[in-house]
Chains A and B, each alone.
Chain A
Amino acid sequence: MANKENPSYFLWERFKNGDDDAFYRIYDQYFNELYSYALNFSKDQDFIKDCIHDLFLNLYKYRKTLSSTDNIQYYLLRSLRRLLHKEGTKRNTLLHDEQLLHLNDIPVVSLEDEIIANETKKENFKALADVMKKLTKKQREALSLKFEHNLSYPQIADTLNISVESARTMIYRTLKELRKAIKKGKTSNSILLFFMLRNRI
């Protein structure tokens, strides 16, 4: 089923056959993405680093018996998710919900430079951040899988163990909530902002 046209397929095959160089290349290529994905599950950076370490260690140890793939990103995300869940249950991660709301892991800081001055965008991002805090873990993860990691709906459904329909509905509803949040703060700057965004990219 793996598409041999895809260069990822060969990278993975070389790794499986014992090429250490390929192994570390995969690590370098996907580390950041895996790290940011793991942030959906835990704020504990040490925990995340440990899990990523364990993930790659296990991949290396059992590389001969792994299945082939042409989508390394998808394979790694799913494996990491399983590991995070399994290890997560061994830890005590209980937090007072009040605290969870205040934990600032949402950097409204990383805005593109030219737009930093724009108050509307800052306000919108803050409103969106507030809505994000109220979503369930699964909803946040679904959004992350779709927009940060660009997974398709069937892939999202498979990762979250829900039906494709549920995945679509979940993202649709969550986006609706986000839209509601910023629709409130409409100013006449909006059109200007839109053109600024379009031209900037």
Chain B
Amino acid sequence: MENNEVKKAYDILADEKFSIDSTVEKIENKKESETEELELASTIYSFLTSYKKTPSSQDKENVRAQLRSSIQQDKRKKTLARWAVAASFLIVMFSVWQVQRTVDTSDFDILVETMQLSQPDTATQLILQDGRQVLIAEEESKILYDEKGENITIDSTQKITQSLENKKPVFNTLVVPYGKRTQITLADGSKVWLNSGSKLVYPATNTGNKREVYIDGEAIFNVAHIDNKPFYVNTKDFKIKVLGTVFNVNAYEDDNNSGTVLAEGKIEISSNNNTLFNNEKRTILPGTRIVYNNNTERFEESQVEVKNYLSWRDGYLILEKEPLETILKKISRYYNVDIELQNAAIGKETFSGNLNLRNTAEEVLNIIAETTQIKLNRENNKLIINLN
């Protein structure tokens, strides 16, 4: 046991590439300092290994018992399942038939329904070049363009067509209001997930020698790789050149900072503020977050946990030491709920952990309120946050 621990202590020393001569404090007795370092290492080692709480044997037994009964249950379920398959087949056949019957009459109904939701800030809108505005009521919707860009499928229930002249580039606009999210597949096969409160202008077709989109808001891009045809993303402050990658762009025009996080591939980012002296162009690699600082007009890079920035697409937020005011802004946009923070000081307090966005805004805020001294009040469709 002694050899093992001393060896581990040396391991720590070796890791540190320790050399006696480089010790900052001038210690005269060489032997003493070596012993001292050994002791330091030993302390750290014994701390790290005595650190954890061991579970009680009661806990171990409880889980074991639960495991046994779960396995029993599962065995029982398996035998029942065999009988159920035959029955469910019949049910599926029946309901497919039922759906077939209703689908034919509903196209018109859907159109009428969406037309009634004419408030532009509640329904997602797809605006075509000829001026047509298609309204989409679903909270989470999916749009698919065919290769030519002429046929557009929305949530597999709506089908829109537009005529496109061959040579001219045609642009469509997608407006996603607060409280909604959309996923769109462009004519070139690229996929874009748009978060609440975002606007995307994009080419309907796949012609021309470059692909270009404009975004105000937040989106995750999965760009289809096409040789010699780079994909450009424009925001208010910067422009990204892409060859085939996955990345998140956060560029709300009403935010002070905007930036992008690269998950896969490679992108080149340049500032829109290009003067002779400030022609910043940077290439970044996966795992990097790059933020455009409005004040210094420079880019700032940092290494981040990419999944924290992509998680909204799957309906949850991963937060690491994030200030309350930013969290509230994200919640406000995601749910389209007016949130007023009446105490600026608590806005600076930071929080870490997971938030599941399948809950309602109020539930989510209650979770936050539980862990600290904030009070949540509802007033006229607004949620007010204050100090308790």
The interface of chain A, by Cβ under 8 A from chain B, is 24, 27-28, 31-32, 35-36, 39, 45, 49, 52-53, 56-57, 60-61, 88-100, 105-107, 110-111, 121, 124-125, 128-129, 132, 136-138, 143-144, 147-148, 168, 171-172, 175-176, 178-179, 182-183, 186, 190-191, 193-194, 197-198, 201
Determine whether the beta carbon of B53 is less than 8 Å from that of A94: no
9 CB contacts below 8 A, A to B, read: A57-B67, A57-B74, A60-B74, A92-B364, A99-B372, A125-B43, A179-B40, A198-B6, A201-B5
A97 and B46 alpha carbons, distance in the complex (Å):
27
Q: Which residues of A contact B364 (CB under 8 A)?
A: 92
**How long is the Cα–Cα vector from A88 to B307 in the complex, in angstroms?**
13
Question: DSSP class of B's interface residues: helix, strand, loop or mixed?
Answer: helix
Cross-interface CB contact of B36 among A45, A190, A198, cutoff 8 Å: A190
For the complex, is B277 an interface residue (Cβ under 8 Å from A)? no
Residues in A whose Cβ lies below 8 Å from that of B381: none
Measured CB to CB, the closest approach of chain A to B133, in angstroms, equals 36
Determine if B54 and A36 form an interchain contact, defined as CB atoms under 8 angstroms apart. Answer: yes
Q: Which of A52, A57, A124, A136 contacts B70 (CB 8 A)?
A: A57
Q: Is B42 an interface residue, CB under 8 A from the partner?
A: yes
Bound form: Cα–Cα A91–B316 in Å: 9
| Interface 9-mer from B56-64, B148-156, B230-238 | B56-64
| A147 / chain B contacts, CB cutoff of 8 Å | 8, 45, 48-49
Report if A175-B16 is in contact (Cβ < 8 Å); known contacts: A31-B60, A35-B55, A90-B316. yes
When C-beta atoms are compared, the residue in chain A nearest to B73 turns out to be A57
A95, B351: Cβ atoms closer than 8 Å: yes
On whether the beta carbons of A124 and B55 are closer than 8 Å, the reply is no
Task: Say yes or no: is B71 at the interface (Cβ < 8 Å to chain A).
Answer: yes
Min Cβ gap B41→A in Å is 8
Closest-CB distance, A82 to chain B (whole angstroms):
13
- Chain B residues with Cβ below 8 Å from A94 are 319, 351-355, 367-368, 371
Looking at the assembled complex, report how far the CB atom of B350 sits from the nearest CB atom of chain A, in whole angstroms.
Answer: 4
B296-325 interface (Cβ within 8 A of A)? 305, 311, 314, 316, 318-321
A27 partner residues in chain B, CB cutoff 8 A: 64, 67
A98 to B60, CA, bound (A): 31
Please indicate which of the listed interface residues B36, B46, B351 has the most CB atoms of chain A within 10 Å of its own CB. Answer: B46
Is the pair A191, B38 in contact by a Cβ cutoff of 8 Å?
Answer: no
The A-B contact count (CB < 8 A) is: 163
B349 surroundings in chain A (CB, below 8 A): 96-98
The 9 closest A-B pairs by CB, nearest first: A194-B39, A94-B353, A93-B353, A96-B372, A36-B52, A147-B48, A35-B55, A201-B2, A97-B350
B52 nearest CB neighbor, chain A only: A36
Cα distance, A197 to B15, chains bound together (Å): 21
Instruction: Find the B residue at minimum CB distance from A52.
Output: B63
Report if B117 contacts A (CB, 8 A).
no
Interface residues on B, range: 35 or more
- Using CB atoms, name the residue of chain A closest to B359: A92
Taking the complex as formed, is B278 at the interface, i.e. its CB lies under 8 A from any CB of chain A? no
Does B44 reach chain A (CB closer than 8 Å)? yes
User: Which residues in B have some Cβ–Cβ distance to A below 8 Å?
Assistant: 1-2, 5-6, 8, 12, 15-17, 32, 35-36, 38-40, 42-55, 59-60, 62-64, 66-67, 70-71, 74, 305, 311, 314, 316, 318-321, 349-356, 359, 364, 367-368, 371-372
A120 to B354, CA, bound (A): 38
Residue of A97, A111, A124, A171 with most chain B CB atoms under a 10 A cut-off: A97
Looking at the assembled complex, report how far the CB atom of B38 sits from the nearest CB atom of chain A, in whole angstroms: 6
Tell me if A191 and B319 are in contact (CB < 8 A): no
- CB atoms of A178 and B367 under 8 A apart: no
In whole angstroms, how far apart are the Cα atoms of A148 and B44 in the complex? 12
Are A92 and B355 in contact (CB-based, < 8 A)? yes
Q: B2's closest neighbor in chain A, by CB?
A: A201
CB distance from B218 to the nearest CB of A (A): 19
Q: Which residues of B sit under 8 angstroms from A129, Cβ to Cβ?
A: 47
Contact B39 A190 (CB under 8 A): yes
Q: Is the CB of A45 within 8 A of B59?
A: yes
Q: Does A191 lie within 8 Å of B15, measured CB to CB?
A: no
Q: Report Cα–Cα, A39/B52, bound state, in Å.
A: 8
Closest to B6 in A: A198
- Residues of chain A within 8 A (CB-CB) of B16 are 172, 175-176, 179
- Take A53-B66, A53-B67, A61-B74 as given contacts and tell me if A179 and B372 are in contact as well, using a CB distance cutoff of 8 Å: no
Chain A residues lying within 8 Å of B8, measured Cβ to Cβ, are 147
- A107 and B354 contact, CB distance less than 8 A: no
Beyond the given A53-B63, A60-B67, A182-B40, please list 19 additional residue pairs across the A-B interface where CB-CB is below 8 A.
Answer: A24-B64, A31-B60, A35-B59, A45-B59, A57-B70, A57-B74, A88-B354, A89-B316, A94-B352, A95-B351, A95-B352, A96-B372, A100-B352, A147-B48, A148-B51, A148-B52, A179-B40, A194-B36, A198-B6
CA distance A197 to B16 in the complex (A): 21
A61 cross-chain contacts in B, Cβ below 8 A: 74
Per the bound structure, the CA–CA distance linking A132 and B40 in Å amounts to 16
* A197 CA to B9 CA, complexed, in Å: 12
Would A172 and B35 count as touching, CB distance under 8 A? no
Distance A113 CA – B74 CA, assembled complex (angstroms): 46
